[in-house]
Structure 1
Amino acid sequence: MTAAVKGRRDTYVRIGMMTVGDLGVVGGLAGWILGWRFGHLLVTLSLVLLIAGMWPGKFRPRRSVAGGYVLVGRHLKGVEALDSARKAAHHYRKLAVKHPDEGLVLLAGTLDWQRALLRELGRHEDAEPVAREAVETWREVVTIDSSRRENLSKALHHLTGTLAELNREGELTTLTEEAVVVQRSLVATHEVLLALHLQNLATQLRRTDRWEAALPVAQEAATLYRRLVPTDPDLLEHAAHTVEGFATTLRRLERPLESLQSTQEWVEYERTLADRLPDRRPELAEALRILGNRSADLDHIEDGLTRWRESLELWRQLASEGREHNAGYADACTRIGYGLGVVGETTESLAVFRTGLDVRRTLATLDSRQYDDLLDDLARATQTTLAPEFAVEAVAVAREHADALTADTLARASDQLREAGFTAEAEELSAHRR
């Protein structure tokens, strides 16, 4: 039979079903009104035919017949309902063989219903094989659609209940252990979603400067990720982002020691991520720099120096691997050079500034927009080290590349040079402001 012939046949079958369904509904309603006791049943069956004819997917006779038994059986009780459930399950089994993606779920649900009816009738012996088949069917369903794990968990619970009624203790422990594993996976899924929502909420609260409100939300998210990450490493990036935000929130609320501890946790997450994903190394380098800052702020100078040096070494490696990391390396040198100067490491600070400026000069020759950053870096280096060479170069950059500099950068650089005691140079920078 050709596809065209099959298509015409299906169309004629659908039209016939809808026609019979329409007539049956009208006739059933009339009979019901006139007192015919089977009028409502005729209406129900006719509606099944009508719906089956209009079904948007491919028409499957067994699905329609089984659905009819289910629809009728839901209006019945006791043995009559059980008979409908058995007939529906029979047709769904046949459907599941040819179309498991559709039939298995329908069969499993019908078996659950059949087991419940048998239990209501006190027929626990008969309920046992049905409950077992329901569990096996839900196991198959879960291999296709993991979102059905809750159904499997319930089916296992019902099977263990049936076995307990029959005093068959041998399998109870194994089945209950399986149910616990399934239920734990459901709890974990729900906890992951909760952690993600909490993470998003904390981010929104921080963006609107609601730091007090963000604190407990971020803390709860961080606690959840701490428990979830060991069993689901794919959550590492979310955990790192959450703990970073938590540490920032603590710092804004003037809780520096707790902020430092959370920053250490953030760095460890980033280390693990960088081991798994080398492209994550810039984030690790930045986290190390921030950890160095927060350590130095609490007078943990040696710890701060160690973190800064590790960050710089990582940036140096990255810059040697590709030009795309040069701007990040230059930024890190300027920021860490400033930190080194603050803690009194003058010689090292000067060397780090010079390294960063070399990188920035190279970038500026390739992209004139980098002269703005170069002037910023030179002003910060002058302010930190009081080295005249940087002030002189800042003036030279302003003279030669004034068109590439913004008024804000010139104003900021002028203020920093004036603060460092280079008044004449500061005045010249001010003169170049547009």
Structure 2
Amino acid sequence: MSRPPEGLARALAEAERQVRFHRRLVEADPGRHSPGLASALDAHALLLGLSARREDAVPVAREAVGLYRDLTARKPGEYASAFASSLINLGNQLAGLGHHHHALVPMREAVELCRRLIPAGPELVSSLEFIGVKLGEMGRHDEALAALDEAMDARRSLIETGRTDHAIDHWAGLVALIHQLHEMGRDDEAGPYQRMAARHHRHIVATRPDFVAFLDELLNEHGYSVTATGLRRDPGRGAASTPSRPSRDVLARLRERNEEGLRLMRAGRLDDALVLFRQAIDVLDEESAATATASPLHNLALVLTKLGRYDEALGPLDRAVHLHRALAASDAGHLPQLASSLNNLGWLLLALSRFEDALVPLDEAVALHRRQVESPEGQARSLYNLGVGLGHLRRHREAVAATEEAVGLLRPLAASDPGAHRAGLADALTWLGKQLRHLGRDREARAAEREARRL
């Protein structure tokens, strides 16, 4: 692990000292000193994220969020802004580790908190822009544009005053909105924003020349350059390239290891299968052909879950989602695999009791099935898993709606192929009964439970 720069190392040591100091105070008087500990934890997490210890930042940021959640519940006017900033910090730390789905959870909570308690503040804008950028990267362009539009409405008056305060953030938000409009083919709508961005760029160059290199890096990342009248887009630069197809020899080696791993898995030789699937993944990585297929990653995660190693399975499955998304972006024929891997990721997060995090991939899986992927079985699985997550979060009304929809899809499947679907229908009916009881709908709950027992 690389060592942090000397100045950062000193700041980290001081932040850790502050956390220890405030923990001792909280032990003596929690009511009085919890705000100080929350603030110290948030600062510590931020510094950890800037160092080589980013993985350590997430649990620290989660603890800060938990403290601020309790404080805001008691005194919303006093702590809401700090709570929103803490949620944003957690989201940024998760995104820095590549956990983009999970990062959306605290960011969305920050948005809802700001809308209720601190509208039009910088926390709302930052959260909306983060959500917009990530949804755009996931191919969910309509939702991305809605979030970026809302952020821009909050920023517009500040941008038009020409003030330097938060100028860099305003400009970065403009570039994100422009890029999203271009990605959706709405170039005419992007024009006015491009002219605004060019004017604001000139203002920053004149008032904050130390930030010019950062602005140019951001432009190059998206494939833009500044002209006298606006931004010029060069589609050849900054755009994500379509993954190349690996050679036949690579595919043959991949298929051989993957199929042998499956044979070993079916024979119950899980440790041996693990070795084969990891070798298959190594073949892909060595040949820069990782997006050719995510099957070995799925199979590796499956073996790890059979071995009860759920935490280890999360990384391969998260990566499989990323690879399927890259393929689906250029070929809609891969959308079913993307929906399936999202559902599997959601199921694994449920198994780890990370119910809030599970809702993000499960929501996306359900949305894909409704709009683009025709698979009643896959849709039913995603809806049932979504209902389970909602139920554990005590969102029982929403859990009933999702589970009822799953039951509606599973009934005809179970009638035509009982061996494959009867157990799934029974599980969904049993869960539906539990959720109905939470809502006081005992008669409907008994009917669902009787149907489940008959199966």
Q: Same fold (TM over 0.5)?
A: no
Larger Rg over CA atoms: 1
| TM-score (norm: length of structure 1) | 0.42
| TM-score (norm: length of structure 2) | 0.40
